[in-house]
Structure formats: C-alpha cells, structure tokens
C-alpha cells in the first residue's frame, strides 16, 4: 500500500471498459477480420454413441471456395488429444480425498467413435462461412449406432462403455471423511434419508465461443485470439499440440462476451484453428453458433445425491453422509475438480462433527460437464439446505431456527472444517458472522414473525405464500498462482499486466484502482493490460472467483519489487535516506519536506540503462518487476438468502415477491461492480431454479437445443432483488479481499425449492429436484387435492 | 447459387453499398461486408436480440432479415448513437446505472430501448420490463438496464414513468 491513504479501493469508480462497449467499438473475436482469412465450419455428431466406419469428404472437397476438408482420420497422427485434463492437485489433497482418477484424454476430432451429440467429426475450411457450411452439409458419414449411456445412474450398470478402458463408466472416485460418520448415524436419535437431483444447465454467455489464428512464417510464430477465460492454458496446449515453443505462441482474449466458467478450459477448437492457420498459411476463423454452443460448449451441474443425516430432537445435526454421482458427460475437462468442490462445501456454514462423502464421476453419452458459476457448490447447497428444511418439518420447527441452531458462531472463527481444500490445505473458514447474515436476510424480507403472520392470513384467503432460505460458504481466490508484471517507463505511467482474463467483470477498472492505491498515483496514470500472454510470462486466468484476490496479490508483489528500485534510485538522486522517502501523488519525496521530491517519470528516466543513469551501485536498470503470487490458501466468502414467493395455483407459476442476499466478500474494490456480480449471479441462479434445463431423451439427444427451448431469464422474469454487502476483511491477504464472481448463482435453486415447499406445506409438498417446473407444482396441488378427497 | 447483387442502404445517415448473395443475412452484411461490427450476433434465430437494429424507424432483428430485404432502407445501428466522443444520453445512463458488464448484448439493448421509449410516450414500469424482455442479458440481471431505460423514458417524455399500481 502507498504511504498515502488508499483512495480508489472501495469506490464505485465508473468502468473504463464502458465507453468502447457502449459505442459498439469493442473488439470481440467475431469482429476480427484479417487479410485472406478463411472460415471453418465443423460437422458434429447427431448420434450420442456411434462407431465411425467411414467419412466421405469428396463432395465437400469439390465445392468451389473450399480450401480444406478433414475428418478425424486425417488428424489422428497429427494432433494429440488435449493433455492435462485433470487440474493439478497437491499430495495433501490426494491423501485426504483418496482419489482414483482416470480422466480420459479428449481427442480433438475422433476417428473411431463418437461419444455425444455435438462432438466434432469433420471440418471444412472455406473462403466464407456460408460456403463452409454448404460443403459441411455434403459430408456423409457411415456410422454404426451403439447403445447410449443415457445418464449417470444408468451408467453404473450399463453394458455399454463410453470409454473402453473405463469399466463401469467411472472416471473418478473420491472419498473423504471427518469424525466417524457410521457410528454417529447409528447413535443419532433421528435420521433423514433423501435422494436429491440437481439438473443440468450451463453458463450460456451471450457471446458464443470463437477462435481466430494467424501464423507468421518469418518468425515461425502463431497468434491465437480466443474467447476464453484462460489464455495461458490455451497457449500451453497449442504449443504442445503444434510442437512449438510457448514463446512462439501468443494467445489473446480480446473483449469476451461473458464466460461464467463455460470458457474456462481449453476446447478442441482452440487447438484446431491454430493448427489450420499454420497448415494453410492463412488466417483462419471459427465462430460457434448458438446451436453448436448448446450442444458442444460445456454443460454443468447434473448431480444425483443420496443423503443420510443424523440429528437430535432439537434439530442439531450430528452427521451427514453423502453419496453422489456426477454425470460428467463424455469427457471431463477439469477432471474431478467440481466433485472435489462439492465434497469440500457440503457442510456450508454449519458446525457438523461427523461427515462422510463418496463420489463417482461418471462418463455418459452427454456433452462434457465443466465448471459453471458455483462449480459443485449449488449442487451441495441444494442437498444440505433442503435437508435442513425437511428436518425442520419433521420437528415442527421453523427452518430459520434449525439453521441458527447449527450455524458456526462468530467466536468459533477461524473454524477448522476437518477436510482438505483443493489446494491441499486443511480448510479453515477465515472470518465472518454467519448467523448475523441470516438475521439480516430475514430482516430484509420484512422479518420472520411478520412473514409467518402474513402467510397465515394469506392462507386463510386461499393464497399460498412461502419463505425460502439458503446459506452457503464459498472458497474463493484459489491458487496455484497468478502472475503480474509492473513497469514504469519514461512516460511515468504505471503499467500493469496480469494473467487475469475478464469476461465482463470490469477488471481493467478494478485492477487500475488496486494499482493506483499501491502506487499512490492518479487512476488515469495506470495502464492495465489483461488476457494477453505476450505481457505476462506465466498466468492462470479468471475462473473460480479468484482474480480479485490472486491478481491483486500479484500486482502487489510485483509492485513491491519495483518500489525497492524506485526508492533506491530516488534516495540516490535526492541524496536522502530511503527510510525517509514516501510515495505521494505520483512522486517519491522526503517525508515532511514537500519541495524535496521527484516524479515517477523522473525516477524512470534515472533508472534507464546507459551512461546518463542515476542509479546507485548494485541497482539494475529499468523499473520493471514480475511476481507470481501464490496464495496461502483460499479466502471464505459466504451468504445468506431469503426469498418470498407466491404460487399461482391455476398455472403453477412461481412468483418471487422479493429476494434478498446478504453477501460477504471481504473488502470490496468497486462496490458497484461487486453488486453487479452478485445480482447477475442471482439471476442466473433463478434461471437455473425455474427455467433453464438441458434436457436429454433416452437416446442421448438434447431436447433443448435452441433458445426457443432453453429459456434464459428475461427482464420481466426478474423479481426485486436486494443484495446487502457485509465486508468482513479476509486475514489472508493485505487487502482483505475475498472472491465474489460465483456466489450469487449458488443459492437460488434451493431457495426457490424451499420457498415453494413452504408455500405448499398444506399439500405436503416435497420438491427434491431442480428445476422447479410449473407442472411439478400442479402435480403437487393435484395430489394434495386427491388426498383430501 | 444465385448471383450476388449490390445492396445500397443508409446506415446512420450515410449511404453505403456492398454485394450480398440473396441468402446473406442482414446481420452478416452489416458486419462482414460493411464492417459495422457494433451490431452483435448472439443466437441467429431471433430470440436473444443482440443483433437488434432500427430499420425504417422500427426495431428489427438483423439475423431474421436478408440483406436484400434492406435495399434502400434507413438503418440505425449502435455506431450512430454517439456524436464523436459525446455519448448518446441513453449510453450515458447505461454506464451510470451499471447496465452493462461484458457489453455483448449492449448494442441490441440500446437499440431495443430506443425503439421502445421513442415509440411510446406513456410507458409504465411493467411496459419497460416487458419491452426490454425482447433482448437477453446474461451478466447484469437486468436491474441496471431497467433503471437506465426508465431514466431515459423520463428524460425523453419529461414525466415520471408510472408504477403499475398507478393503473389501479
């Protein structure tokens, strides 16, 4: 931190991104047009599971304007599969999770077998996209249909195998425990046993994916522009596949139109387009259309839980046993990472002495499953928070009361959970007041007692109101690292580059705020460069609610290196002692002596190499520093949600009257941006809770392959939402930051399900799966009416 | 394939011409032939509204029109809103109310809002929500968008936007 007080962190500075985006002057991958650029159309499987006998490319190759048509067989000895599909995990995590992981490599274009509807099996490169699609339509395949492995539960006992080397269709198993779950269940006064299903939906950014690549034969280098959240990961895979030094591969994510995790790993097209550009010696562009996106961009969620909970007559939970299946689809782009998150987050903000979890990551003939906003947390929040409401029902207690009785109290902080996090460190919730968050959320919807009175009165009038609650904690700011380079050149501007890859989070603004405070300069004197591998040697990217913590840490550590030089050089020039110097308003000066100072611009000139320099002995030339911040472990954000719904008994429609989330992500960099992140996440969660569904039939065909069937929330679907931000600083970094990108999306599905069940309690409603569809509600009403007769 | 023909359209007051095959979508013609990439494409089946432009005074999905249908049309796109560095009032309100994050839906949102507000002088809050449902945003949760469009309607028509309850 600069010696002057922080002046930008905590302020809702207007975003520097806005001007170009509002004018339509941003540059998304689809906007790029390079001289001589060719266009790719990809031919995708219409079968869920099939042996490839032959692909006939002759007709496509004969179309005027077609430069190249290829099938998997043409690439099988040329391009390796995507490597490293299991995100690295340290030994301490492996010791605690007992993992058996055999994540299959993902072939870019299969030549032998197709494993999901939407998987690529051929492609065409042509002078324009219309011609490429014409030619793609002429490609004929001879396929032998195989029995589909339709879902995770069926996969367990299926004769058919998605991958021949994975018996039982199991890609990974994880097992973790704390205490002695078995004994605790046997001795628990009461038990609850339930099956929960959290359905499949997806990130669905408004910009589909896209890749442009250009090869330069003079330097034998390639530049790839991809709509991705992980430029350095894409660079590594492209370099590996094309057998090029990473130094000769530059990957840039220009303006990216939303990601939410769906663009958070390497896809086959990232590599294919780079390969085609190099092979053809011309720029090549591929843009995913929406139908392709629905079929082929990663899906998420899709977990089946069998839960057993032990508790006593007061509702105090002593044990949770959790056995669950993840339907990972045909591949698993980040391995068992989502399942690991699920295991680690199950107990949420509750103090539960015994816990045991077993998980199988199953391969099925569905689109690959990868992290999407929440990444394993919405699924377990659903199972845990539904269980609490069911316990409350059984004991005739208010669901709020059961939560308060089980919550970790503020005086228990930091709280050791007894399980390892994905970074290998034993989980210790760092800070916060969970009961206070729930109290505030209840106040936010008008108070618990007031609501119960209203609910009773409404019921007497034949109206069904319900209150839904949902609480969660979220590990954020995960490592392994983020990189940043900070430079000050003769212009005197502070230039900051990090491996963060924004997709709408306002990083250019937020990191300018952070750097301006670190350096005590005007925010307009900070230049921020993101999502470009040519500016930072190693980087990780923007996934997993991590950048506020990790990129800020990297900016701070690299700044510290540069500051050492700045002070040494200024001390030399000003003939002062370093310890007497301070940063102030873009200058370095002697404390208490306003006239004795020099600007950063002057320091940068004094730092230049050559005979005019003014560096003291032993100080290297140039003001430039790079650091790789390795966080000690994650920071723990948390939230409590409360919503009031009313059920339309004629149509089964759920009307959310009011939705409140009390959210704590530590110190906020830019409160308006933070508020937008949480609200945007909440609306995605409401979409997942009520409308969005990637639904498959028994043949493995996606039934919701367009926006006519896959329903995103619209402006008129959104209820009044109030987000109340608490700011309990994290003790794990000097800023007090925690991450907040994902949180909003975690709770709404279970909050809605709980609210609906509360409203329809007179009908004995029990909804244990998502989404909450109008027909489910009508069925509850019909069944309740039938029972009453 | 049918031969291309030359299409002439007025874009933000400037007459531009380019060649388009009869099957070329208007969105592709604007973006790829005329270089007006401010208009974005989000679904190509008329649902998301990212490609919304104003054709002869009415909001239209440019992914659901062919370029040949636009011959001689007067088209307004996002590029015509700002006057140089001076943002259009609605653009300023979008920034002020945090009505954008990634910015991909924004051009379509702006054109949808302009058509909605300028063609209706007695909008209610509900009208604005329903009207803006013509375009999808995945980032913001819409709150900022509704606030910005409401403020714009109040600016344009010089009176407050009525709440639903006002309708009795």
The two structure tokens encoding residue A379:
């699924």
Spatial contact of A18 and B94, defined as CB atoms under 8 Å apart: yes
Q: Which of residues 194-213 of A touch B (CB under 8 A)?
A: 204-208
CB contact under 8 A, A289 and B141: no
Residues of B in contact with A205 (CB under 8 A): 102, 104, 138
How crowded is the C-beta side of A760, counted as CA atoms within 13 Å? Answer: 27
Cα–Cα distance for residue pair A687/A683, rounded to 1 Å: 6
Read off the pLDDT of residues B73-109 as tens digits, 9 standing for 90 and up.
Answer: 999 999 999 999 999 999 999 999 999 999 999 999 9
B25, B48, B79 - which closes a domain: B79
Q: Is A700 a residue whose pLDDT tops 50?
A: yes
The two structure tokens encoding residue B77:
């796109």
Chain A interface test: which of B1, B67, B103, B107 (most A C-beta within 10 Å): B103
End-to-end CA distance of chain B: 58
Whether residue B132 lies within 8 A of chain A, CB to CB, comes out as: yes
Would you state the pLDDT for residue B168?
36
End-to-end CA distance of chain A: 71
CB contact under 8 A, B45 and A706: yes
Q: Do B46 and B18 share a structural domain?
A: yes
Read off the pLDDT of residues A545-579 as tens digits, 9 standing for 90 and up.
Answer: 999 999 999 999 999 999 999 999 999 999 999 99
Beta-carbon contacts of residue A511 (< 8 Å; ≥ 6 apart) = A496, A498, A500, A528, A530, A551, A552, A555
Would you state the pLDDT for residue A784?
82
Structural domain contains residue B155: yes
Whether residue B64 lies within 8 A of chain A, CB to CB, comes out as: no
Instruction: Compute how many other C-beta atoms are within 10 angstroms of the C-beta atom of residue A675.
Output: 23
Would you state the pLDDT for residue A787?
76
B56, B79, B102 - which closes a domain: B79
List the beta bridge partners of residue A362: A170, A327
Residues of A in contact with B40 (CB under 8 A): 24, 28, 30, 206-207, 257
Would you state the pLDDT for residue A381?
98
Comparing CA positions, the residue from B60, B51, B71 lying closest to residue B8 is: B71
Structural domain contains residue B166: no
SS (H, E, C) A241-273: HHCCCHHHEEEECCECCCCCCCCCCCCHHHHHH
Question: Residue A583 burial by CB count (10 A; 0-12/13-18/19+): exposed, middle or buried?
Answer: buried
Residues of B in contact with A257 (CB under 8 A): 40, 102-105
Q: Which of residues 226-285 of A touch B (CB under 8 A)?
A: 255-258, 260
Instruction: Compute how many other C-beta atoms are within 10 angstroms of the C-beta atom of residue A697.
Output: 11
Q: Is A681 a residue whose pLDDT tops 50?
A: yes
Instruction: Please give the share of chain A, as a percent, with pLDDT higher than 70.
Output: 98
Q: Do B59 and B117 share a structural domain?
A: no
Residues of B in contact with A708 (CB under 8 A): 45, 47
Would you state the pLDDT for residue A1?
43
List the beta bridge partners of residue B52: B61
Give the ranges where A596-707 is alpha helix by DSSP (H).
600-606, 671-690
Residues of B in contact with A209 (CB under 8 A): none
Instruction: Compute how many other C-beta atoms are within 10 angstroms of the C-beta atom of residue B96.
Output: 15
Would you state the pLDDT for residue A96?
87
Number of structural domains (chain B) is 2
Structural domain contains residue B168: no
Closest-CA residue of chain B to A710: B47
Confidence band for A525, pLDDT divided at 50, 70 and 90: very high
CB contact under 8 A, A26 and B139: no
What mean pLDDT comes out for the span A39-59? 98
CB contact under 8 A, A28 and B140: no
Would you state the pLDDT for residue A241?
96
Read off the pLDDT of residues A125-134 as tens digits, 9 standing for 90 and up.
Answer: 999 999 999 9
Confidence band for B163, pLDDT divided at 50, 70 and 90: confident
Supply the ipTM of this predicted assembly: 0.98
Structural domain contains residue B148: yes
CB contact under 8 A, B136 and A712: yes
> How far, rounded to the nearest angstrom, does the alpha carbon of residue B133 sit from its chain's CA centroid?
13
Phi/psi of residue A28, nearest 5 degrees: -95, 165
Cα–Cα distance for residue pair B159/A159, rounded to 1 Å: 69
Domain A300-478+632-788 is in which class?
alpha beta
CB contact under 8 A, A24 and B43: no
Instruction: Please give the share of chain B, as a percent, with pLDDT higher than 70.
Output: 97
Distance from the B158 Cα atom to the nearest Cα atom in chain A, whole angstroms: 24
What mean pLDDT comes out for the span A754-773? 96
Domains A18-24+479-629 and A300-478+632-788 share a fold: yes
Q: C-alpha distances in angstroms, A398 versus A205, A644, A756, A780, B77? A: 38, 15, 15, 22, 54
Q: Which domain holds residue B66?
A: 5-79
Q: Do B112 and B72 share a structural domain?
A: no
At residue A41's C-alpha, the angle toward residues B64 and A270, to 5°, is: 115
A18-24+479-629: CATH architecture: 2-Layer Sandwich (3.30)
Q: Do B67 and B94 share a structural domain?
A: no
What mean pLDDT comes out for the span A399-411? 98
What mean pLDDT comes out for the span A254-269? 97
Confidence band for A503, pLDDT divided at 50, 70 and 90: very high
B40, B58, B79 - which closes a domain: B79
Spatial contact of A622 and A607, defined as CB atoms under 8 Å apart: yes
Would you state the pLDDT for residue A6?
58
Would you state the pLDDT for residue B167?
44
Instruction: Please give the share of chain A, as a percent, with pLDDT higher than 90.
Output: 95
Q: Do B60 and B30 share a structural domain?
A: yes
Confidence band for A682, pLDDT divided at 50, 70 and 90: very high
Q: Do B75 and B11 share a structural domain?
A: yes
Q: Do B21 and B66 share a structural domain?
A: yes
Q: Do B67 and B17 share a structural domain?
A: yes
Read off the pLDDT of residues A608-664 as tens digits, 9 standing for 90 and up.
Answer: 999 989 999 999 999 999 999 999 999 999 999 999 999 999 999 999 999 999 999
Structural domain contains residue B167: no
CATH at residue B53 = 3.10.20.30
Residues of B in contact with A723 (CB under 8 A): none
Read off the pLDDT of residues B132-141 as tens digits, 9 standing for 90 and up.
Answer: 999 999 999 9
Residues of B in contact with A17 (CB under 8 A): 103
pTM of the model: 0.97
What mean pLDDT comes out for the span A711-730? 97
Q: What are the domain boundaries of chain A?
A: 18-24+479-629, 209-287, 300-478+632-788
Confidence band for A37, pLDDT divided at 50, 70 and 90: very high
At residue B78's C-alpha, the angle toward residues B74 and B84, to 5°, is: 105
Q: Is A582 a residue whose pLDDT tops 50?
A: yes
Cα–Cα distance for residue pair A117/A114, rounded to 1 Å: 8
Spatial contact of A664 and A725, defined as CB atoms under 8 Å apart: yes
Q: Is A4 a residue whose pLDDT tops 90?
A: no
List the beta bridge partners of residue A287: A210
CB contact under 8 A, B35 and A33: yes
CATH at residue B93 = 1.10.150.120
> How far, rounded to the nearest angstrom, does the alpha carbon of residue B98 sit from its chain's CA centroid?
18
Residues of B in contact with A15 (CB under 8 A): 95
What mean pLDDT comes out for the span B40-55? 98
The two structure tokens encoding residue A599:
């600007």
Would you state the pLDDT for residue B166?
46
Would you state the pLDDT for residue A86?
59
CB contact under 8 A, B142 and A31: no
Chain B interface test: which of A19, A24, A66 (most B C-beta within 10 Å): A24
What mean pLDDT comes out for the span A296-311? 98
Domain A209-287 is in which class?
alpha beta
């Amino acid at each position: 931190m600069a010696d002057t007080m922080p002046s930008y962190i905590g302020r809702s500075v207007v975003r520097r991104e806005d001007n170009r985006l509002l004018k339509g002057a941003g540059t998304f991958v689809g906007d790029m047009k390079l001289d001589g650029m060719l266009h790719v159309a990809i031919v995708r499987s219409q079968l869920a599971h099939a042996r490839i006998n032959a692909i006939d490319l002759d007709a496509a190759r004969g179309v005027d304007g077609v430069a190249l048509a290829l099938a998997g067989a043409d690439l099988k000895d040329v391009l390796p599969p995507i490597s490293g599909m299991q995100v690295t995990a340290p030994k301490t995590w492996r010791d605690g999770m007992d993992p058996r992981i055999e994540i299959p490599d993902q072939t870019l274009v299969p030549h032998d077998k197709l494993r999901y509807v939407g998987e690529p099996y051929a492609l065409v490169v042509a002078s324009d996209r219309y011609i490429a699609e014409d030619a793609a339509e002429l490609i004929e395949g001879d396929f032998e249909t195989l029995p589909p492995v339709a879902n995770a539960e069926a996969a367990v006992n299926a004769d058919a195998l998605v991958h021949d080397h994975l018996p039982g269709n199991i890609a990974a198993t994880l097992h973790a425990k704390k205490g002695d779950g078995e004994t605790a269940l046997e001795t628990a006064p009461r038990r609850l046993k339930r099956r929960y299903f959290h359905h499949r939906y997806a990130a669905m950014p408004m910009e589909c994916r896209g890749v442009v690549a250009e090869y330069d034969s003079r330097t034998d280098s390639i530049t790839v522009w991809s709509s991705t959240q992980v430029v350095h990961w894409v660079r590594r895979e492209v370099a590996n596949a094309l057998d090029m030094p990473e130094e000769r591969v530059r990957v840039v994510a220009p303006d990216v139109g939303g990601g939410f995790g769906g663009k958070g790993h390497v896809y086959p097209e990232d590599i294919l387009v780079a390969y085609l550009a190099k092979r053809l010696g011309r720029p090549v562009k591929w843009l995913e259309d929406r139908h392709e996106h629905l079929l082929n961009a990663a899906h998420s969620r899709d977990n089946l839980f069998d839960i057993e909970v032990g508790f006593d007559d007061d509702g105090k939970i002593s044990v949770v046993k959790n056995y669950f299946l993840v339907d990972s689809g045909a591949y698993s782009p980040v391995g068992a990472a989502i399942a690991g998150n699920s295991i680690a987050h199950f107990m949420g903000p509750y103090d539960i002495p015994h816990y045991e979890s077993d998980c199988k990551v199953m391969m099925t003939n569905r689109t690959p499953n990868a992290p999407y906003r929440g990444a394993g947390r919405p699924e377990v929040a659903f199972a845990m928070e539904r269980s609490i409401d069911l316990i409350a029902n059984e004991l005739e207690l208010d669901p709020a009361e059961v939560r308060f009785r089980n919550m970790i109290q503020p005086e228990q902080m930091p709280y050791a959970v007894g399980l390892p996090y994905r970074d290998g460190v034993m989980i210790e919730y760092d800070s916060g007041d969970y009961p206070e968050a729930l109290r505030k959320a209840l106040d936010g919807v008008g108070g618990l007692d007031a609501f119960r009175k209203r609910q009773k009165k409404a019921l007497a009038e034949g109206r069904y109101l319900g209150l839904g609650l949902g609480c969660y904690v979220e590990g954020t700011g995960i490592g392994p690292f983020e990189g940043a380079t900070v430079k000050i050149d003769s212009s005197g501007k502070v230039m900051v580059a990090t491996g963060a890859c924004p997709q709408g989070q306002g990083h250019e603004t937020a990191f300018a705020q952070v750097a301006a405070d670190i350096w005590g300069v005007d925010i307009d004197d900070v230049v921020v460069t993101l999502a470009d591998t040519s500016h930072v040697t190693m980087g990780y990217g923007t996934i997993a609610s991590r950048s506020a913590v990790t990129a800020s840490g990297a900016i701070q550590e690299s700044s510290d290196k540069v500051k050492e030089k700045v002070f040494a050089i200024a001390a030399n020039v000003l003939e002062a002692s370093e310890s007497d110097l301070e940063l102030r308003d873009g200058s370095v000066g002697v404390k208490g002596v306003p006239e004795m100072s020099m600007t950063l611009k002057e320091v940068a000139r004094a730092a230049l190499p050559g005979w005019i320099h003014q560096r003291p002995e032993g100080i290297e030339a140039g003001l430039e520093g790079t650091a790789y911040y390795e966080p000690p472990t994650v920071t723990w954000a948390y939230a409590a949600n409360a919503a009031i719904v009313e059920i339309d008994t004629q149509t089964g429609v759920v009307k959310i009257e009011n939705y409140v989330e009390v959210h704590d992500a530590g110190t906020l960099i830019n409160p308006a941006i933070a508020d937008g992140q949480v609200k945007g996440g909440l609306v995605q969660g409401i979409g997942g809770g009520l409308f969005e569904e990637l639904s498959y039939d028994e043949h493995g065909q996606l039934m919701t392959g367009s926006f006519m069937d896959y329903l995103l929330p619209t402006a008129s679907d959104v209820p009044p939402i109030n987000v109340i931000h608490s700011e309990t600083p994290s003790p794990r970094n000097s800023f007090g930051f925690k991450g907040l990108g994902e949180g909003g999306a975690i709770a709404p599905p279970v909050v809605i399900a709980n609210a609906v069940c509360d409203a329809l309690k007179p009908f004995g409603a029990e909804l244990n799966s998502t989404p909450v569809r109008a027909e489910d509600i009508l069925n509850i009403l019909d069944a309740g009416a039938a029972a009453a007769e | 394939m049918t031969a291309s023909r030359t299409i002439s359209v007025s874009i933000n007051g400037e007459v531009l011409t380019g060649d388009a095959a009869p099957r070329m979508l208007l969105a592709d013609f604007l973006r790829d032939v005329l270089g007006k990439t401010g208009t974005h494409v989000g679904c190509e089946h008329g649902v998301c509204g990212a490609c919304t432009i104003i054709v002869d005074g009415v909001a239209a999905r440019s992914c659901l029109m062919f370029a040949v249908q636009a011959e001689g049309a007067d088209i307004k796109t996002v590029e015509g809103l700002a006057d140089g560095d001076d943002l259009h009032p609605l653009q300023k309100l979008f920034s002020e109310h945090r009505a954008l994050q990634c910015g991909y839906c924004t051009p379509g949102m702006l054109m949808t809002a302009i058509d909605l507000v300028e063609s209706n002088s007695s909008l209610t809050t509900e009208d604005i929500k329903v009207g803006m449902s013509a375009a999808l945003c995945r980032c913001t949760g819409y709150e900022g968008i509704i606030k910005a469009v409401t403020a714009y309607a109040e600016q344009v028509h010089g009176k407050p936007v009525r709440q639903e309850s006002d309708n009795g």
